[in-house]
């Protein structure tokens, strides 16, 4: 009943003040004092509390109903979306079926047209055969002396009989007349004779005679393909004037040329080199196939019937199929032999016997450990500065492979092209990347001296430079000649993976060699410092009579560093320059930092140390690496601690360049001063 009352109170239009007022008047004791029942605020409060509770319950009920309706709405929306998706898929399937049906209709229409052409091509010879059979029947009747056919017994068909008799008598003479007219170049007479012979068996013989005679004297040049192109161009114009079906005559002429002249020419050129000179055989095969396809493209401009492209393709396939079946095997075998010979000839010219790589011997194990560490496992190999990388070898290998890619593109079946191109690429990787570049890196790593070697020949950077140049050439051929052959096939992924694998293997060895070369550079600098730097350099006996601007050790180290920086710039390219120079600069700074901490410094000695660091800093500018210059700026600031007055130490340590440094590092530099204990400088760091 309360719910009904509440519903009545909510009748439209709803007004909150009126709603409260009506609720109060409905409540016993809730009206004004002048009402029937005295005003009772407690009852009114109790009614309001109960009514509020009812409203809450009503709100919850309505909210549950709303949620239920929302869930139902979402569910129905999802179902509707699924139905729409199903309809879309059905529409796509229907559209696909429509496309397939359309393609099938087009295919059937093409076949019907082709069948019509074939039927027409069959009907004409059939008509000729029927006419020839009829003439032979009439001829037999003359031989037997018994004329049974109606055409000879019916007076009304005397003209037809006369025509038959004339044809029987003159067919042979007509063919001879056609031949004579062709030799005289009398096109009109040739056309007349051909028209008479059209429906007789002699017509085919007439065409054969024409094809044979028009080729007489046509092949006078050394270039057979040029002769054929000129011949067909001339004949194509003539057959249109002589024969009523010139496309048939042209097709028969071209078939004769391919099956006789071209096939004989190809066989002669290829058979003489197939077993004796594989390189020349492959060149001849590529040249002959290319020129034949070019000729076929020219001939396709002529009217040869409705399916001339298939006709020409079959003629080419009949000539070259026996050679193309074994092509890729011969290509790979030749490329293997040729690449191996190029490499062997190079190593022979260097009087170098190739060392086996990865044999598992103890010496090999030692070399591999020494390549990756600085452990002294015996002397390094002396290659006398030979990188064992040859630009000429690389160019020859790439040229041979480029020719192979070109032949592969032309001579491979389209379905086998990606697979064949990939097999050629693997040979390039084997002989160029593994047998030449990787081998040179292995030898180069073995030849890097230990870090403590004196006057070491750091020629590994030359290996890096040449390897980078070679790899750029390799990468260019990959992009220019291999990618177009495999870009639209699954073999692309394999090629890219193989290339990445090769790059990563070489980069590991290059990184290892560069790291050990940098160690050697630092070792050489350390040797210069140990040899040239005297303890008295920074504690001169006569503090007032020091004439030098910087020490001899500093001068020699800076000269050495400048040479190495320039050498790195020549050997690297791109971001590699900054990467290597950054590493060299950081190690150079660490060496000088540790070196300076080995000495004690007087006041004048500290000034000399500052001058040395300033000179080192000037060399650091050659690196063109902000980090390296910053490190030497900080080191220069640290050296100021060697000469600054004791009372100013705290101020200097709080300067911009030193404020963020570890206090122990600052203290370590202050301890290098000869007056450290006497001046009690340690209290400034307490």
pLDDT grade, residue 417 (50/70/90)? Answer: very high
What would the pLDDT profile of 590-631 be if each residue is shown by its tens digit? 999 999 999 998 888 888 999 999 999 999 999 999 999 999
Q: Indicate the fold that domain 533-684 takes in CATH.
A: Methane Monooxygenase Hydroxylase; Chain G, domain 1 (1.20.58)
- Phi then psi for residue 413, to 5 deg, are -65, 140
Neighbours of 244 (CB within 10 A): 12
Give pLDDT tens digits for 219-234.
877 888 999 988 888 8
Band of the pLDDT at 201, cuts 50, 70, 90? low
DSSP states of 356-411 as a string?
Answer: PSS---HHHHHHHHHHHS----SPPP--TT-----HHHHHHHHHHHHHHHHHHHHH
Tell me which range, 420-429, 461-470, 537-546, is most confidently predicted by mean pLDDT: 420-429
Under a CB-based contact definition with an 8 Å cutoff, are residues 212 and 178 in contact? no
Mean pLDDT of 413-431: 95
Query: What is the pLDDT, as a whole number, of residue 1?
Result: 43
CA distance linking residue 285 with residue 329, whole number of Å: 14
Is 513 buried (19+), middle (13-18) or exposed (0-12) by CB count in 10 A?
Answer: buried
pLDDT at 82 over 60: yes
Count the helix, strand and coil residues of the chain and give each as a percent rounded to the nearest 5: 75, 0, 25
3-state secondary structure of 607: helix
Q: What is the pLDDT of residues 122-153, one digit of tens each?
A: 666 677 666 666 666 665 565 456 676 766 67
Q: What band does 496 get if pLDDT is binned at 50, 70 and 90?
A: very high
Residue 378 — very low, low, confident or very high, per pLDDT cuts 50/70/90? very low
| Cβ-based neighbour number of residue 491 at 10 Å | 20
Pick the range with the lowest mean pLDDT from 149-163, 232-246, 250-264, 466-480: 149-163
Return the domain boundaries, the chain: 40-142, 356-372+383-526, 533-684
Mean pLDDT of 499-506: 94
pLDDT: which is higher, 38 or 36: 38
Torsion angle in degrees (nearest 10) through CA of 239, 242, 247, 250: -40
- In terms of pLDDT, which residue wins out, 301 or 457? 301
CA distances from 203 to 51, 129, 303 (A): 117, 11, 20
User: 543 phi and psi, to 5 degrees?
Assistant: -65, -25
pLDDT value, residue 603: 85
Report d(CA 398, CA 474) in Å as an integer: 7
* Predicted confidence (pLDDT) at residue 282 exceeds the cutoff of 60: yes
Over residues 44-49, mean pLDDT: 83
CB atoms within 10 A of CB 194: 22
**Prediction pTM value:** 0.67
Mean pLDDT of all residues in 365-391: 61
Comparison of pLDDT for 116 and 500, the residue scoring more: 500
Q: What is the mean pLDDT of residues 545-554?
A: 78
pLDDT, residue 4, reads 47
Q: Are 533 and 595 in contact (CB under 8 A)?
A: yes
Examine the pLDDT at 683 and tell me if it is beyond 50: yes
Among 468, 470, 465, which residue's Cα sits nearest to residue 517? 465
Residue 393 in this model has a pLDDT that exceeds 50: yes
374 has a pLDDT exceeding 60: no
Note the pLDDT of residue 604. 87
| 249 vs 530: CA distance, rounded Å | 96
pLDDT reported for residue 574: 85
By mean pLDDT, which of 247-256, 288-297, 302-311, 374-383 is the weakest? 374-383
User: Quick one: pLDDT band at residue 199, thresholds 50, 70, 90?
Assistant: low
Residue 104 CA to residue 107 CA, distance in Å, equals: 5
Residue 544 has what pLDDT? 67
The mean-pLDDT minimum among 314-328, 365-379, 529-543, 623-637 falls in 365-379
pLDDT confidence of residue 568: 93
Q: Does residue 441 register a pLDDT over 80? A: yes
For the beta carbon of residue 143, count every other beta carbon within 10 angstroms. 8
Structure tokens at 2: 């309360």
Mean pLDDT score of the chain: 83
pLDDT: which is higher, 92 or 397? 397
Query: What kind and span of H or E run contains 318?
Result: helix 308-324
| Mean predicted confidence (pLDDT) in 241-254 | 84
By C-alpha distance, which of 571, 551, 564, 616 is closest to 590?
A: 616
Q: Quick check: 244 and 227 in contact, CB under 8 A?
A: no
pLDDT digits (tens, 9 = 90+) for 335-346: 999 999 999 999
Does 435 have pLDDT greater than 90?
Answer: yes
CA angle, residues 283, 286, 287, in degrees to nearest 5: 85
Task: Please report, to the nearest 10 degrees, the dihedral formed by the alpha carbons of residues 506, 507, 512, 516 taken in order.
Answer: 100
- Comparing 205 with 225, the larger pLDDT belongs to 225
Q: What is the pLDDT of residues 461-492, one digit of tens each?
A: 999 999 999 999 999 999 999 999 999 899 99
Return the pLDDT at 648: 80
**Residue 376: which pLDDT band, with cuts at 50, 70 and 90?**
very low
Percentage of the residues of the chain whose pLDDT score is greater than 90: 40
Q: pLDDT value at position 370?
A: 53
pLDDT given for residue 379 in this prediction: 47
Which DSSP string corresponds to 503-570?
Answer: HHHHHHHHHHHHHHHHHHHHHHHHHHHHHH--GGGSS-S-TT----SS-HHHHHHHHHHHHHHHHHHH
Which range, of 13-22, 50-59, 619-628, averages the lowest pLDDT? 13-22
More confident residue, 141 or 348: 348
């Amino acid at each position: 009943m309360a719910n009904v009352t509440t519903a009545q109170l909510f009748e439209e239009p709803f007004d909150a003040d009126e709603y409260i007022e009506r609720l109060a008047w409905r409540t016993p004791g809730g009206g004004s004092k002048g009402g029937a029942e005295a005003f009772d605020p407690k009852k009114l409060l109790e009614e309001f509390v109960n009514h509020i509770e009812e409203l809450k319950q009503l709100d919850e009920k309505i909210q549950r109903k709303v949620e239920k309706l929302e869930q139902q709405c979402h569910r129905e929306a999802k179902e509707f979306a699924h139905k729409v998706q199903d309809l879309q898929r059905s529409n796509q399937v229907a559209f696909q079926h429509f496309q397939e049906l359309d393609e099938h209709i087009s295919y059937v229409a093409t076949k019907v047209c082709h069948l019509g052409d074939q039927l027409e091509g069959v009907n004409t010879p059939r008509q000729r055969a029927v006419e020839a059979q009829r003439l032979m029947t009439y001829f037999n009747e003359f031989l037997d002396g018994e004329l049974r056919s109606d055409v000879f017994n019916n007076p009304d068909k005397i003209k037809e009989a006369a025509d038959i008799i004339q044809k029987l008598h003159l067919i042979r003479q007509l063919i001879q007349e056609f031949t004579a007219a062709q030799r005289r170049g009398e096109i009109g007479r040739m056309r007349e004779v051909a028209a008479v012979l059209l429906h007789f068996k002699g017509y085919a013989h007439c065409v054969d005679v024409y094809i044979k005679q028009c080729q007489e004297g046509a092949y006078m040049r050394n270039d057979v393909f040029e002769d054929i192109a000129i011949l067909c161009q001339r004949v194509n114009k003539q057959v249109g004037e002589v024969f009523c079906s010139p496309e048939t005559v042209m097709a028969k002429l071209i078939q004769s040329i391919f099956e006789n002249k071209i096939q004989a020419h190809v066989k002669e050129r290829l058979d003489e080199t197939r077993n004796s000179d594989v390189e020349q055989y492959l060149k001849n095969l590529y040249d002959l196939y290319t020129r034949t396809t070019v000729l076929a493209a020219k001939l396709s401009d002529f009217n040869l019937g409705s399916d001339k492209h298939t006709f020409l393709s079959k003629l080419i396939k009949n000539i070259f199929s026996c050679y193309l079946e074994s092509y890729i095997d011969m290509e790979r075998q030749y490329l293997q032999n040729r690449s191996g010979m190029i490499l062997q000839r190079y190593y022979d010219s260097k009087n170098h016997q190739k060392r086996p790589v990865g044999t598992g011997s103890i010496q090999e194990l030692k070399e591999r450990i020494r390549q990756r560490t600085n452990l002294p496992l015996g002397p390094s190999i002396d290659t006398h500065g030979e990188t064992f990388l040859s630009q000429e070898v690389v160019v020859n290998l790439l040229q041979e492979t480029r020719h192979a890619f070109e032949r592969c593109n032309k001579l491979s079946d389209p379905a086998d092209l990606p697979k064949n191109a990939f097999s050629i690429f693997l040979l390039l990787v084997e002989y160029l990347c593994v047998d030449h570049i990787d081998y040179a890196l292995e030898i180069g790593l073995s030849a890097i001296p230990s870090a403590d070697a004196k006057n070491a020949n750091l020629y590994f950077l030359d290996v890096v430079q040449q390897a980078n140049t070679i790899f750029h050439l390799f990468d260019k051929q990959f992009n220019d000649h291999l990618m177009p052959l495999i870009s639209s096939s699954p073999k692309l992924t394999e090629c890219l993976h193989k290339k990445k694998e090769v790059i990563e293997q070489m980069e590991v060895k290059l990184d290892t060699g560069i790291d050990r070369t940098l160690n050697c550079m630092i070792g050489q600098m350390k040797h210069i410092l140990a040899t040239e730097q005297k303890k008295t350099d920074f504690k001169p006996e006569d503090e007032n009579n020091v004439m030098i601007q910087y020490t001899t050790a500093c001068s020699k180290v800076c000269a050495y560093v400048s040479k190495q920086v320039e050498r790195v710039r020549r050997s690297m390219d791109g971001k590699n320059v900054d990467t290597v120079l950054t590493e060299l600069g950081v190690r150079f700074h660490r060496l000088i930092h540790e070196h300076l901490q080995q000495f004690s410094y007087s006041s004048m000695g500290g000034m000399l140390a500052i001058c040395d660091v300033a000179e080192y800093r000037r060399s650091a500018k050659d690196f063109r690496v902000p980090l390296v210059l910053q490190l030497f700026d900080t080191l220069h600031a640290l050296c100021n601690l060697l000469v600054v007055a004791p009372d100013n130490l705290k101020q200097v340590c709080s300067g911009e360049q030193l404020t963020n440094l570890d206090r122990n590092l600052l203290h370590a530099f202050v301890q290098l001063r000869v007056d450290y204990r006497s001046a009690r400088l340690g209290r400034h760091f307490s």
